[in-house]
């Protein structure tokens, strides 16, 4: 399938699902904190609803309706798991595509840089210079963002574990 076909199919499925409620992260966290109930406790509580009509009337639901809601919740949890698994697979495949693309781009730039040194390949010079300019702009933008963040304190040096001086480390290489 093409990406467009997948998007169209997902939208068609989404339109057919009766209950879809997008929540903010805060709403989702709040609801998760309120529903920390294990399945055994949940099923035992449903049994309480069925044990006495007064309980059923007080909660406004018959025990069978509550059991159906629990069963439906479990089936939608299976759907949620499958969708999460699919998203993980699609995300992984796309990450691999981006990695392959970045590798090809790096190869093209490296080869182009070498070939542009030969005057016979002068047509490559503006392309290589554009890539070089964009790369330097990216580095400058990161460097300008660094002063906004507070400096991290340098770790205290352990006198027993002194690092070799720069000249010592360079002479070993």
Going from N- to C-terminal start, the domains of the chain cover 25-92
- pLDDT for 137 beyond 50: yes
Q: Is the dihedral of CA 7, 8, 13, 18 positive or negative?
A: positive
Please give the model's pTM, rounded to 2 decimal places.
0.62
Look at residue 33 and tell me whether its pLDDT is greater than 80.
Answer: yes
Please report the pLDDT score of residue 100 as a whole number.
98
Predicted confidence at residue 82, as pLDDT, reads: 96
């Amino acid at each position: 399938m093409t990406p467009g076909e997948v998007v169209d199919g997902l939208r068609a499925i989404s339109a057919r699902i009766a209950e879809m409620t997008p929540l903010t992260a805060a709403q989702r966290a709040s609801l998760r904190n309120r529903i920390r109930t294990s399945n055994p406790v949940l099923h035992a509580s449903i049994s309480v609803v069925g044990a006495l009509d007064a309980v059923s009337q007080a909660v406004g639901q018959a025990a069978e309706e509550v059991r159906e809601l629990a069963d439906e919740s479990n089936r939608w949890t299976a759907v949620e798991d499958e969708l999460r698994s699919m998203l993980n697979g699609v995300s992984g495949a796309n990450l691999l595509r981006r990695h392959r693309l970045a590798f090809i781009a790096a190869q093209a730039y490296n080869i182009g840089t070498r070939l542009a040194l030969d005057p016979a390949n002068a047509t490559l010079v503006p392309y290589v210079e554009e890539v070089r300019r964009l790369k330097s702009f990216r580095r400058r933008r990161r460097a300008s963002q660094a002063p906004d963040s507070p400096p991290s304190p340098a770790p205290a040096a352990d006198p027993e574990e002194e690092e070799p001086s720069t000249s010592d480390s360079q002479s070993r290489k």
